[in-house]
């Protein structure tokens, strides 16, 4: 109950009015708190959706090709730069996004053929070194092509508004678009992997690479396609996030750490796990940020709570990861194959 309702209640009682009025006032306050909680959950889900786009590609590549790809964040960055460039050239946000998606897919496949292919079957440390090299390469390449200042991908004006999703809950229109399109992408990905011939090959390739190639399937081409798909997903995440955050060098590096946390929590190689873990991580991060400082203020001074809150809420994700590693080292949804 907040101060205003307490004052209101005192007034009601002093005036010998029906206590029911006071209860109604408390109910309104609680409903307001509930709506605010829903809004914060939407924020968490939106972050989760973005993480899913990154983590899905990462977990596919990690689970199927057994490749640790630190350069996934670079593809996220490339997607955002392509989208900003193409949107400026075509004058249309959607055309820019579609072109950027295709371009990132092609870049991903080219990277696989030129560099990644040589890393299969080698030690994970070689993967880390090789793909870390790619991060440096892409950062410098972007600096050469687009310059150090970064870019912006402006939204169409009709997107600069909040939509009433529930009575009293306003939510930025563009963030709703992110949630909706990612859900569609997740569904398409599920159908692709579980219901199509190529998905079957991907799953078979994950279980037994030699057997699949012995059956006459071009496993090299399959891997190139999977890597391209992962790249396109990362690029999609980058271009969707570009209007919210700015497009800049190294933009994928921080978020990649969260994406790795997601695939560890969800279970490496499992797209379903990535989906659930993304939403969990997104909710913990955002809801923690929104409420922990307020909870701390009950015990601590305002200043200490404001300082401690953000650090504590960012730690919670890693505490969850540590707990998962202790109690379910395979993750929440271990991939069935291995």
Partner 1 sequence: MIKTMLKAGVAAGALLALTAGAAVPQGKTIKIGFISTFSGPVAAIGNDMRNSFELGLDHLGRKLGGLPVEVIYEDDGFKPEVGLQKTQKLIESDKVDFVVGYIWSNVLLASIKPLVDSKTFTVITNAGASQVAGELCSPYVFSTSWNNDQTPQAVGLYMNQKGVKTAFLIGPNYAAGKDMLAGVASTFKGQILGQELTRWPDQLDFSAELSKARAAKPDAIFAFYPGGPGIQFITQYAQSGLKGQIPLYTAFTLDELSIPRLKELAVGIPGAQEWVNDLPNETNKKYVADYKAKYKSSPSFYGAQTYDAAALLDSVVAGVKGDLSNKDAMRKEAEKANFKSVRGNFKYGHNHMPIQNFYLQDVVKQGDDYVLKTVATIVENDVDKHADKCPMK
The residue ranges that bind partner 1 (CB under 8 A) are 32, 36, 39-40, 43, 46-47, 148-152, 154-155, 159-162, 170, 172-175, 243-246, 248-251, 254, 286-287, 289-290, 293, 302-303, 306-307, 309-311, 314
Closer residue to partner 1, CB minimum distance, 47 or 116? 47
* Cα–Cα distance measured from residue 42 to residue 48, given in angstroms and rounded to the nearest whole number: 10
- Which residues contact residue 119 at a Cβ distance below 8 angstroms, ignoring those fewer than 6 apart? 67, 126, 127, 130, 131
Smallest gap, in angstroms, from Cβ of residue 172 to partner 1?
5
Smallest gap, in angstroms, from Cβ of residue 244 to partner 1?
6
Closer residue to partner 1, CB minimum distance, 164 or 327? 164
Contact in structure between 293 and 305 (CB atoms under 8 Å): yes
Closer residue to partner 1, CB minimum distance, 245 or 332? 245
Please classify residue 254 by burial: count the beta carbons closer than 10 Å to its beta carbon, then call 0-12 exposed, 13-18 middle and 19+ buried. Answer: exposed
Closer residue to partner 1, CB minimum distance, 63 or 309? 309
Closer residue to partner 1, CB minimum distance, 225 or 290? 290
Smallest gap, in angstroms, from Cβ of residue 148 to partner 1?
5
Count the helices and strands in the chain (H runs, E runs): 12, 2
Strand partners, 166: 169
Strand partners, 246: none
Which residue do the tokens 């159908």 mark? 191
- Sign, CA dihedral 239-240-244-249, equals negative
Closer residue to partner 1, CB minimum distance, 15 or 303? 303
Smallest gap, in angstroms, from Cβ of residue 326 to partner 1?
26
Smallest gap, in angstroms, from Cβ of residue 98 to partner 1?
22
Tokens found for residue 75: 């593809």
Smallest gap, in angstroms, from Cβ of residue 236 to partner 1?
17
Strand partners, 172: 162
């Amino acid at each position: 109950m907040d101060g205003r309702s307490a004052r209101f209640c005192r007034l009601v009682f002093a005036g010998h009015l029906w206590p029911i009025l006071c209860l109604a006032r408390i109910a309104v306050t609680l409903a307001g708190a509930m709506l605010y909680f829903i809004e914060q959950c939407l924020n968490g889900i939106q972050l989760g959706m973005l993480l899913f786009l990154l983590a899905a590609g990462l977990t596919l590549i990690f689970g199927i090709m057994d490749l640790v790809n630190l350069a996934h964040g670079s593809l996220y960055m490339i997607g955002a730069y392509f989208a900003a460039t193409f949107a400026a050239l075509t004058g249309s946000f959607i055309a820019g996004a579609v072109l950027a998606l295709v371009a990132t897919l092609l870049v991903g496949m080219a990277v696989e053929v030129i560099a990644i292919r040589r890393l299969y079957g080698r030690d994970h440390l070689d993967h880390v070194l090789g793909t870390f090299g790619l991060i440096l390469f892409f950062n410098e390449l972007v600096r050469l092509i687009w310059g150090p200042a970064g870019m912006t991908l402006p939204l169409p004006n009709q997107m600069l508004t909040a939509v009433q999703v529930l009575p009293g809950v306003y939510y930025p229109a563009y963030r709703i678009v992110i949630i909706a399109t990612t859900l569609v992408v997740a569904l398409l990905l599920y159908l692709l992997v579980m219901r199509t011939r190529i998905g079957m090959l991907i799953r078979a390739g994950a279980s037994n690479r030699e057997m699949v190639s012995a059956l006459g399937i071009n496993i090299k081409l399959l891997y190139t396609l999977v890597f391209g798909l992962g790249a396109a997903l990362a690029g999609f995440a980058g271009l969707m996030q570009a209007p919210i955050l700015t497009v800049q060098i190294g933009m994928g590096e921080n978020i990649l750490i969260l994406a790795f946390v997601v695939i560890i929590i969800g279970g490496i190689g499992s797209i379903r796990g990535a989906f659930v873990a993304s939403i969990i991580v997104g909710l913990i991060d955002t809801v923690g940020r929104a409420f922990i400082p307020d909870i701390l203020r009950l015990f601590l001074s305002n200043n200490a709570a404001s300082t401690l809150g953000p650090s504590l809420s960012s730690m919670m994700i890693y505490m969850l990861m540590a707990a998962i590693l202790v109690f379910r080292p395979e993750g929440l949804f271990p991939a069935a194959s291995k």
